[in-house]
Chains A and B, each alone.
Chain A
Amino acid sequence: MSNTGFDTDVLMVLIPAFPLAAALIIGIFGRYVLGERSHWPCVLAIAASFVCSCLLLNEVVSLAHESHEGHGVGLEITNTLWTWADVVDAYRPAAPAAGSPAIAPAEANFNIDITLRADPLTCIMLCMVTFIATLVAIYASGYMHGDPGYWRFFAYVSLFVFSMTSLVSVSNFALLYVFWEAVGVCSYLLIGFWYEKPEAAAAGKKAFLVNRVGDFGFALGVFLIWTTYGTLNFHDTTAPDGSIVMGVLGQARLSNPALFVGGATATLIALGLMTGAAGKSAQFPLHVWLPDAMEGPTPVSALIHAATMVTAGVYLVTRCTPLFYMSPDAQMVVAVIGGFTALLAGLIALTQNDLKRVLAYSTVSQLGYMFLSLGTGTLIGIVGGMFHLFTHAFFKALLFLGAGSVMHAMHHIIDMRRFSGLRHIMPWTFRTFWFGSLALAGVVPFAGFWSKDVILAAVHERGHDSGVFEVLYFGALFTAFLTAFYTFRALFMTFYGPTKVPHEAHHAHESPPAMTVPLIILAVCSLVVGAWFEYTHGFAAFLVQTPSLAYAPVYGEHGVHQDVFHWDIAITSTIVALAGVGLAAFLYLGPRTEVTRLGEFLQSPVGFRVYQLSYGKFFIDQIYAVTIVWPLRLLALLSYWFDRWVIDGLVNSVGRIPAAIGSAIFRPLQTGMVQFYGLAMMMGLLFLLLSMLIWQPLG
């Protein structure tokens, strides 16, 4: 199977194993032995993981070239390590439907194989995650320098990389759920990294609780998959008798679309999975946790809350494309939620004064873009969503790390109103931030332009036959305008204008090389990845070899070789982006008199107070507080009182009975007289003897 000498089975294991080992080493030795050297195991392990991912990618690419494209079943390699759970005869379908092909076995064992898989989707995710993580770890060694929890930070990051690589590698819904939760835990730990700060602790708790809502839906989806398909494996397995047991997304099932359940069941499954994806990827209405998650250290924001973990939802939906394909309604829901989230977050980002918060809402917005693209249900749309995920990881990580660099220099002050004109102080951060902003705004030829163009094209294409997508297309265009505007607003507010630094940061200076070098690497990537992949068509051609995407109804007759580059859309989006940049330059470069007037207008009743609406994040947190949090707290209070006074009262009353008996009867028996105890003992013995004599035969 290998033609370059590397065993894919070993590589698949090594990729998560390196970060896990690093996490254990740092966790055990970090505090007392490694100390300020704690980043070394983390960086080295993740870099090794990245090398392994590249080797694995190379293997899979060469395999993909060998196999005939458009085979209809795609390419996957699985490696079963061991069986975690094995329950015999666990699956009994309620009543097999007559006439239709059996989509599930008549009876099945419940087994969770620890199986790692390698296919184009997984390989792309692995390379992206480990690459970004390597750079972020290097960056963090400078950023976190001197923090008392230095070793803890790198232990968590290693653990996160382990969880994330496992999440994209596993080939089973149950394991996917496990690592889904594992990345959630790492996210919680890292958001609340400075747990002594009340806001950080609260933000971690909020992220965790909001994710619970999404995970609940995800769990329901997984349960429904189990009851419907009788298996949780993605891939096909071979039964002991040699027959093939179809996995949910296995090649055997993918070869015959009739083997997928349709109708309401498919919709419920898809919506369950979508709920989980929306929770993890911060889509409306579960988006509220991500902006608060910016309380964590900035490298964490870059790695987890911009580039990798929050894209897990996108990964999940992509992975389950055939399941979503069975329910056009669910796909529509995905698209609408995505488009709405993109617009909503873009509107909120316009007025935020916190640099990291602007970027956080930008992340939510871009994730919405990806979901919008996935929701089109076309191959070009799905590939576009994944492509945007890929490019977005680079430039959003770049922007966050740039923001972190600013924060580092400004002594942890991130309010854009308190500093300006930093381009002279931090030249490298300034230049790389330009690259990131251009990529995010979608300006030719930066990465964001190409991926956003694919998405707009896919949505526009669906708009021909669906009014909803027509609306979504214009919404997406408007979002692109907003994106360009708020990105450059942040850029201009931070780096232009008169040089001003907050008084806390009187020694403002450029960040150390450990932080600027990753910035430069990411800036170069932001410039080239989009154009290069667009030019070679390599990304799309490779990605569609994933079994889920090679699925015939999705793949269609032409694959992705149809000409997807529409000049009209490209020109439109470029104009829109430049308009946004121009408006931002007009308002924020120079004396800013217009922006003040505009702001006053929008705050007034004449302007419908839309400024407050945006600045207050559409008051979604407050609405949740009133409709969900307070009723729950009231219920909890009621339960507390019920438990405290009714249940405890009952228990205490029952407890008082033996106490009363004890003080009435047994307490007076404790006379302290030695002979009394002897007598009592003897009486007991006599009673025993007597009862033996009367009731018990002696023989």
Chain B
Amino acid sequence: MIDDPVVASDLGAQWPYALATLLFAAGMWLLLPRGRRGGRRLGAGLAAAGLALLVLLVHFGLTIHDRPPRSVEFTVPFPALGSWAHDGVFLILAVLTVGSAICSVTFRSPVYCAIWFAMTLLGTAGLFFYQGSQFLGVATIVVYAGAILVTFLFVLMLAQPEGHAFYDRVSWEGPLAACAGAVMVGLLTMTFAAAFAPNTEQQGSPPRYGWLEPAIAAEAPAARNENILATEHVASLGRTLFSTHLIAVEVAGTLLLVALVGAIAIIAHSQKTDASSITNEPAALRPRSTGGAHG
């Protein structure tokens, strides 16, 4: 199947990624609601181990390849901090984001899920800030955490029964879902690793490795940070938004209007019907006792 010895050996060398993926998958499975207690600490441990391995592989370059120094240098947005502090800030933000994301999808109570999702959003906003995208960070907090999430909570208050509903206490095909997500992460990471691998040989290496760095290096390094990291960040962003992307802005506005009308129409229509209109479903599907909720 794989004739190229370089590729073959390289695939063989991907086992740390595979291990991280496996650990992560197992952890996620154990963390997901399974209808019974127990195993969640172990799951949290496994997931954390997988993530830690991933951090080591990706961020600290723990790899079986030799890693020559990077050629393209980077202007930091926080000049007051040293290199070590940079790493620390990023790592804290990343772990906060990913950790709260895991909590968000694994907690049984939807309210907790929403709150942890807010935490994820805050972490993401931090990551945006770290990249110099101040406007996006603020917008994420305001729009997502402030507006969308609060709407979620309203809906939850309207619809959520007290206690844990039985459908919050079980997962649908938890192992498969966890595997799918983990394999997704693993594959993407391996792809990134291949693309971002240092270009050790300028000529002889196959094109699927390390193609990104020379491509970036070919771009004019002088102008690299003038645009995105300009002093008048928001003003530049606005200029771009309302000149280059003006039509897209108009379309997005129309979309918002249509969505507004659609949401009102759906709700107005659904008010006419109620649960009693659903009579053709088998008895097994009817709402039933949710255990402790009414017990």
Instruction: Name A residues whose Cβ lies closer than 8 Å to a Cβ of B.
Output: 673, 675-676, 679, 682-683, 685-686, 689-690, 693-694, 697-699
Do B180 and A675 touch across chains, with their CB atoms under 8 A apart? no
Chain B residues near A693 (CB, 8 Å)?
187, 190-191, 194
- Bound form: Cα–Cα A686–B207 in Å: 23
Instruction: Name B residues whose Cβ lies closer than 8 Å to a Cβ of A.
Output: 1-2, 11, 172-173, 176-177, 180, 183-184, 187-188, 190-191, 194-195, 206-208, 211
Chain A residues near B1 (CB, 8 Å)?
694
Do B207 and A697 touch across chains, with their CB atoms under 8 A apart? yes
Query: Closest approach, in angstroms, between the C-beta of B98 and any C-beta of chain A?
Result: 20
- Which of B177, B180, B187 contacts A690 (CB under 8 A)? B187
Q: Which 10 pairs, one residue from A and one from B, show the smallest C-beta to C-beta distance?
A: A699-B207, A698-B208, A699-B211, A697-B208, A675-B172, A689-B187, A682-B180, A697-B207, A686-B183, A699-B208
- Which of A675, A686, A690, A699 contacts B173 (CB under 8 A)? A675
Known: A694-B1, A697-B208, A699-B211. A679 touches B187 (CB 8 A): no
Chain A residues near B195 (CB, 8 Å)?
698
- Bound form: Cα–Cα A690–B186 in Å: 10
Known: A686-B183, A698-B191. A679 touches B211 (CB 8 A): no
Known: A689-B187, A690-B187, A698-B195. A679 touches B207 (CB 8 A): no
A-B contact pairs, 27 of them (CB 8 A): A675-B172, A675-B173, A675-B177, A676-B172, A676-B173, A679-B176, A683-B180, A685-B184, A686-B183, A686-B184, A686-B187, A689-B184, A689-B188, A689-B191, A693-B187, A693-B191, A693-B194, A694-B1, A694-B2, A697-B206, A697-B207, A698-B191, A698-B195, A698-B208, A698-B211, A699-B208, A699-B211
The DSSP consensus for interface residues of chain A is: helix
Chain A residues near B188 (CB, 8 Å)?
689
- Bound form: Cα–Cα A699–B11 in Å: 17
Chain A residues near B177 (CB, 8 Å)?
675, 679
Query: Closest approach, in angstroms, between the C-beta of B229 and any C-beta of chain A?
Result: 29
Do B208 and A682 touch across chains, with their CB atoms under 8 A apart? no
- Bound form: Cα–Cα A693–B14 in Å: 12
Query: Closest approach, in angstroms, between the C-beta of B193 and any C-beta of chain A?
Result: 11
Query: Closest approach, in angstroms, between the C-beta of A410 and any C-beta of chain B?
Result: 71
Query: Closest approach, in angstroms, between the C-beta of B255 and any C-beta of chain A?
Result: 24
Chain B residues near A694 (CB, 8 Å)?
1-2, 11
Q: A683-B180, A686-B183 are in contact. List 11 more A-B contacts (CB 8 A).
A: A676-B172, A676-B173, A682-B184, A689-B187, A693-B187, A694-B11, A697-B206, A698-B194, A698-B207, A698-B211, A699-B207
Query: Closest approach, in angstroms, between the C-beta of A205 and any C-beta of chain B?
Result: 55
- Bound form: Cα–Cα A690–B187 in Å: 7
- Bound form: Cα–Cα A685–B191 in Å: 14
Do B208 and A679 touch across chains, with their CB atoms under 8 A apart? no
Chain A residues near B176 (CB, 8 Å)?
679
Chain B residues near A673 (CB, 8 Å)?
172
Query: Closest approach, in angstroms, between the C-beta of A689 and any C-beta of chain B?
Result: 5
Query: Closest approach, in angstroms, between the C-beta of B240 and any C-beta of chain A?
Result: 30
Known: A686-B184, A686-B187. A679 touches B2 (CB 8 A): no
Chain A residues near B173 (CB, 8 Å)?
675-676, 679
Known: A698-B194, A698-B211. A679 touches B180 (CB 8 A): yes
- Bound form: Cα–Cα A177–B194 in Å: 74
Chain B residues near A698 (CB, 8 Å)?
191, 194-195, 207-208, 211
- Bound form: Cα–Cα A682–B2 in Å: 25
- Bound form: Cα–Cα A675–B181 in Å: 13
- Bound form: Cα–Cα A467–B43 in Å: 118
Query: Closest approach, in angstroms, between the C-beta of A147 and any C-beta of chain B?
Result: 58
Query: Closest approach, in angstroms, between the C-beta of B186 and any C-beta of chain A?
Result: 10
- Bound form: Cα–Cα A376–B195 in Å: 96
- Bound form: Cα–Cα A673–B173 in Å: 11
- Bound form: Cα–Cα A489–B2 in Å: 101
Query: Closest approach, in angstroms, between the C-beta of B12 and any C-beta of chain A?
Result: 13
Known: A694-B1, A698-B211. A686 touches B191 (CB 8 A): no
- Bound form: Cα–Cα A693–B206 in Å: 13
- Bound form: Cα–Cα A578–B198 in Å: 121
- Bound form: Cα–Cα A697–B207 in Å: 7
- Bound form: Cα–Cα A689–B183 in Å: 10
Chain A residues near B211 (CB, 8 Å)?
698-699
Query: Closest approach, in angstroms, between the C-beta of B174 and any C-beta of chain A?
Result: 11
- Bound form: Cα–Cα A697–B211 in Å: 11
- Bound form: Cα–Cα A697–B3 in Å: 13
- Bound form: Cα–Cα A682–B173 in Å: 14
Q: Which residue of A lies closest to B211 (CB)?
A: A699
- Bound form: Cα–Cα A435–B208 in Å: 103
- Bound form: Cα–Cα A683–B180 in Å: 7
Chain B residues near A685 (CB, 8 Å)?
184
Query: Closest approach, in angstroms, between the C-beta of B70 and any C-beta of chain A?
Result: 19
Chain B residues near A676 (CB, 8 Å)?
172-173
Q: Which residue of B lies closest to A692 (CB)?
A: B191
- Bound form: Cα–Cα A685–B184 in Å: 9
Chain A residues near B187 (CB, 8 Å)?
686, 689-690, 693
- Bound form: Cα–Cα A122–B11 in Å: 89
Chain A residues near B184 (CB, 8 Å)?
682, 685-686, 689
- Bound form: Cα–Cα A693–B194 in Å: 10
Q: Which residue of B lies closest to A683 (CB)?
A: B180
Q: Which residue of A lies closest to B188 (CB)?
A: A689
Q: Which residue of A lies closest to B171 (CB)?
A: A675
- Bound form: Cα–Cα A452–B294 in Å: 115
Chain A residues near B206 (CB, 8 Å)?
697
Query: Closest approach, in angstroms, between the C-beta of B194 and any C-beta of chain A?
Result: 7
Of listed A676, A694, A699, residue having the most chain B CB within 10 A: A699
Q: Which residue of A lies closest to B215 (CB)?
A: A699
- Bound form: Cα–Cα A313–B176 in Å: 83
Chain A residues near B180 (CB, 8 Å)?
679, 682-683, 686
Query: Closest approach, in angstroms, between the C-beta of A674 and any C-beta of chain B?
Result: 9
- Bound form: Cα–Cα A679–B178 in Å: 11
Chain B residues near A699 (CB, 8 Å)?
207-208, 211
Q: Which residue of B lies closest to A686 (CB)?
A: B183
- Bound form: Cα–Cα A679–B173 in Å: 9
- Bound form: Cα–Cα A694–B177 in Å: 23
Chain B residues near A682 (CB, 8 Å)?
180, 184
Chain B residues near A686 (CB, 8 Å)?
180, 183-184, 187
Q: Which residue of A lies closest to B180 (CB)?
A: A682
- Bound form: Cα–Cα A675–B174 in Å: 11
- Bound form: Cα–Cα A69–B257 in Å: 92
- Bound form: Cα–Cα A697–B176 in Å: 29
Query: Closest approach, in angstroms, between the C-beta of A669 and any C-beta of chain B?
Result: 14
Chain A residues near B208 (CB, 8 Å)?
697-699
- Bound form: Cα–Cα A698–B212 in Å: 11
- Bound form: Cα–Cα A322–B206 in Å: 82
Chain B residues near A689 (CB, 8 Å)?
184, 187-188, 191
